[in-house]
Amino acid sequence: MLRTNRELWFAFFAAVMITGIYLLIVYLTRAIPPAGELFGHSLGILGFLLILMTETLYSLRKRSRVARWGKMSAWLQFHIFTGLVGPYMVLLHTSWKFNGLAGITTLLTVVIVFSGFIGRYIYTRIPRTMDGLEIQNALSEEALRQARRLMSLWHTVHIPIGMALFVAAFVHMGAALYYATFLK
Ligand code: HEM
Ligand code: HEM
């Protein structure tokens, strides 16, 4: 169960720190960091790695029959932390240009974060144990059933967006590295 907003605060502080470094680079170079140069490129790669962790780690822990380390709630908090900080870094990587497929990849990233907040809201409506297991409660059975139905409907939207994001990101990486890095 997510009992606090701690992960949102951690993500907020990380974003403030990253913004500070970004503004320092803007001040020192008197330019928006280009996506294909050292700082902008590093933001893209690190942000993408965080998004990759977001996509895989929580699902692996949730589905693994052998993995018992760490509470599910902590994994979900980490999922949300990396799911916010990664997209923010990738946004700074874009150098505020959104042409073609790279622009579509950014749009998909924004959509999945937005959808994540909706999912987080529905998730917290379902009573759970500390380990994320749902608690059956006869008193509010109808409301619970509705929340559960909404949650599974939400999964059928959120998961394909994540997959589309990865397909687009891999094509973008291949094309950007080929045309903008290796052909230079
Ligand atoms: C989800 C992750 C990512 C998103 C949403 C994203 C998005 C973007 C956007 C919007 C641009 C600007 C395109 C334009 O000029 O209009 C860009 C440029 C670029 N990206 Fe990414 N990017 C991501 C990850 C990566 C990664 C992991 C790499 C490297 C392996 C990378 C390499 C580049 C390069 C080299 C450019 C510069 C292209 C040029 O100068 O024409 N990107 N990216
Ligand atoms: C790049 C960003 C993100 C990606 C790629 C992503 C991907 C995923 C995936 C694949 C799942 C399915 C997990 C499973 O059932 O196996 C999931 C679940 C979930 N995500 Fe995200 N997510 C992202 C960002 C976020 C954000 C920002 C939030 C909250 C603000 C969030 C909240 C949730 C919640 C509440 C669940 C449901 C957990 C459950 O039913 O067990 N996600 N996400």
Residue-wise DSSP of 145-156? HHHHHHHHHHHH
Residue 70, pLDDT score? 82
93 vs 22: CA distance, rounded Å: 10
- The model's confidence at residue 1, banded by pLDDT at 50, 70 and 90, is low
Q: ∠ at Cα 80 (74, 82), nearest 5°?
A: 100
Ligand 2 close to Cβ of residue 78 (< 6 A): no
pLDDT for residue 51 is more than 60: yes
**pTM of the shown model:** 0.93
Locus of tokens 């579509």: 104
Residue 75 near residue 61 (C-beta atoms within 8 A): yes
pLDDT for residue 123 is more than 60: yes
> What's the gap between Cα 152 and its chain centre?
19
In terms of pLDDT, which residue wins out, 72 or 119? 119
DSSP state letter for 35 = T
Read off the tokens for 116. 């994540």
In 3D space, the residue among 111, 92, 119, 105 whose CA is nearest the CA of residue 172 turns out to be 105
Mean pLDDT of the chain, nearest integer: 90
pLDDT for residue 133 is more than 80: no
Residues 6 or more apart in contact with residue 107 via CB below 8 angstroms: 98
Ligand 2 close to Cβ of residue 87 (< 6 A): yes
Residue 172 near residue 102 (C-beta atoms within 8 A): yes
In 3D space, the residue among 86, 64, 85 whose CA is nearest the CA of residue 166 turns out to be 86
Ligand 1 close to Cβ of residue 106 (< 6 A): yes
C-alpha 142 to ligand 2 mean position (Å): 25
pLDDT for residue 132 is more than 70: no
Ligand 2 close to Cβ of residue 47 (< 6 A): no
**Number of residues written out for the chain:** 184
From 84-93, 98-107, 115-124, 125-134, the region with the lowest mean pLDDT: 125-134
